[in-house]
Amino acid sequence: MGTFRAGSTLLLLLSALLAGGAQGGRPASPADDEKVIDGGLRLFYGGTFYTGGRQEEGGPDPLELSDRSVEALLVRDGRILALGGFAELNESDDARGAERIDMGGAHCYPGFQDSHGYLEDHGASLENVDLLGAASFAEAVERVRQFAGSLPEGEWVLGRGWDQTLWEGSDYPTHEALSRAVPTHPVFVLRIDGQVGLANERAMVAAGIEDEERRVSGIFAGAALAEIERVIPAPTPSVRARRILRAQDDLLRFGVTAVHDMSIDRGAVEVLSELRDAGKLKLRVVGYLSSLKLAESLGAERIRALADRHDVFSIVGVTYALDGGFGSRGAALLQPYADAPDESGQLAWSTQDLSTSVEATARLGLQPTVRATGDRGVRAALEGFHQAAQRYDGFRVYSPRIEHLQLVAEQDLRRLGDLGVVASIQPAHLLADLAWIQARLGEQRAQSAYAWRTLQSRATQLIAFGSAFPTSSPDPRLGLYAAIARQTAEGKPENGFFASERLSASAAVAAYTEGAAAAALQDDRRGRLALGYAADFTAFDIDIGRLAPATADQILRANVIATVINGQVAYRRP
């Protein structure tokens, strides 16, 4: 692999009117305001730049990306000014004075985007106790105990990542061992999905918990999480900024150029705006507000004014949590869980209330986004969208989203396309769920779970991929591997989990690039390498878009060489 290096030259300050406006009735692109990038002129060369976009009609697979590639990109003011052969661009008048950046033989794809994540939460998880992969409750308790020893007495110990499905018996823990191990700190640690928490005795005393069942177990789930969270000291704006920047560094090293942040509150709006205006925000943040109430209080005019012309930070939607996950049996199912016949999950919203709220969201000019994992949750979301569309003709313009969709009933698949719904999926979740998902759903129902190829074939637009970090790693290589192989890194199950639902490497890349851009209604300016589009790309040391299931494990060993956003090198591999 060649060396990645940048040459020197003058910056040629030229003005340019580049394409990239909104299409049709879509939300408007950001208006011009102060620059948040350096506006430099750069010629990227010495690599293979895959432009993306769909295959020509009649191609062998409608899910595949075009295999078109070019040798070089000329970038000005964050946008692609020209692309093609290196010799021609290098000698062109437009490239005079450009900084030359040699990609050292890298394979460069349109910028990878994570269509579902929680930026500040990820930064916090990097600072708090990490319980991911704890093989037993005893191991989780020991990690908490050691972490608490580094803090002043009485300070809260927070963490995330325990997963009882990895432990003998697979039952939820109770707090006694944790309370004995850490008696002088209040402790609250979340399950891997963030939907269940375990509190120790001191935390429950601090929260004034009197419910006998909760005092015995220490388990808090769903809305009950707030009973503990309300007494945890709120982070200051400076702490929030530090966490966001720490998360940004982590995502950039994985080649992520943009994230759809699914829980933006008022404080996050202010912190992200300040970081952007100070030039500290390199990663694109596409924000989804945490509630309709917040969207209404901010108002459509202020929300539009938040955006900058380079799309570094913008608010595009509102998110609603409708059900939970399979691991906690919080996903709402049409039929009970196979391993818990008395449980079928719960819906957090009535269809009427959800329908009213998503309609109001669209009328504000924002995209409605609903988190639904189980087949009953997905059906309720679709019915809410249907009712909203019946009342408001402009509803479909905003391409309502459903997040997760890990189980969809056959009769609801067509409705996804009919309503123009975006399917936003986190493929790496399958890797964590493989050990128990068939027992939880039953073998017959499991055949319809994580049905990515079926979802893509029934949808009217590309599916979008993400990770839901910090629930799982933001590393897109894991998602690509899961989508292509549908088996663990150890090769289990041997032939893949219902292998007919595998996606090709090219289709999986499309879901992380053009699909993710389309999910936020931004595929008119991102998701491909094309004239006038943002100069965002992710450079790998191997060609990840041509791998087969048998060679998919090569993705796990691939290296990100560079992450380029708005024509600026935001990360380069040491």
Task: Look up the CATH number of domain 5-113.
Answer: 2.30.40.10
409-461 pLDDT, tens per residue?
999 999 999 999 999 999 999 998 998 999 999 999 999 999 999 998 887 77
Residue ranges covered by each domain of the chain:
5-113, 127-229
CA 513 vs CA 111, 141, 401: distances in Å: 6, 40, 17
284-312 pLDDT, tens per residue?
999 999 999 999 999 999 999 999 989 99
pLDDT of 487 over the 70 cut: yes
Dist CA 127 CA 158 (whole Å): 9
Strands (E), 470-559: 537-540
At 62 the pLDDT is 53
At 16 the pLDDT is 29
Dist CA 181 CA 79 (whole Å): 55
Spell out the alpha helix ranges (H) of 75-174: 86-91, 119-127, 137-148
Q: Which of 21-25, 274-278, 408-412, 488-492 has the lowest mean pLDDT?
A: 21-25
pTM of the full structure: 0.88
Of 507 and 58, the structure prediction assigns the larger pLDDT to: 507
- The closest of 372, 378, 442 to 409, measured between CA atoms, is 378
Same fold, 5-113 and 127-229: no
- The number of C-alpha atoms within 13 Å of 291 and in the hemisphere containing its C-beta is 5
Mean pLDDT of all residues belonging to the chain: 90
Do strands 187-191 and 157-162 pair parallel, antiparallel, or not at all (unpaired)? parallel
At 204 the pLDDT is 96
Q: Which two tokens stand for residue 184?
A: 């002088």
At 23 the pLDDT is 32
pLDDT of 30 over the 70 cut: no
pLDDT of 14 over the 60 cut: no
Is CATH 3.40.50.300 what the domain over 127-229 is classified as, yes or no? no
559-568 pLDDT, tens per residue?
999 999 999 9
At 459 the pLDDT is 75
- The closest of 432, 360, 424 to 395, measured between CA atoms, is 360
Q: How much helix, strand and coil, in percent to the nearest 5, is found in the chain? A: 35, 20, 45
313: part of which helix (H) or strand (E)?
Answer: strand 313-321
299-336: buried (b, 16+ CB within 10 Å) or exposed (e) per residue?
eeeebeebbbbbbbbbbbbbbbbbbbbbbbbbbbbbee
297: part of which helix (H) or strand (E)?
Answer: helix 292-298
Q: Which of 44-58, 102-116, 536-550 has the lowest mean pLDDT?
A: 44-58
Q: Helix and strand tally (H, E) in the chain?
A: 22, 24
At 462 the pLDDT is 83
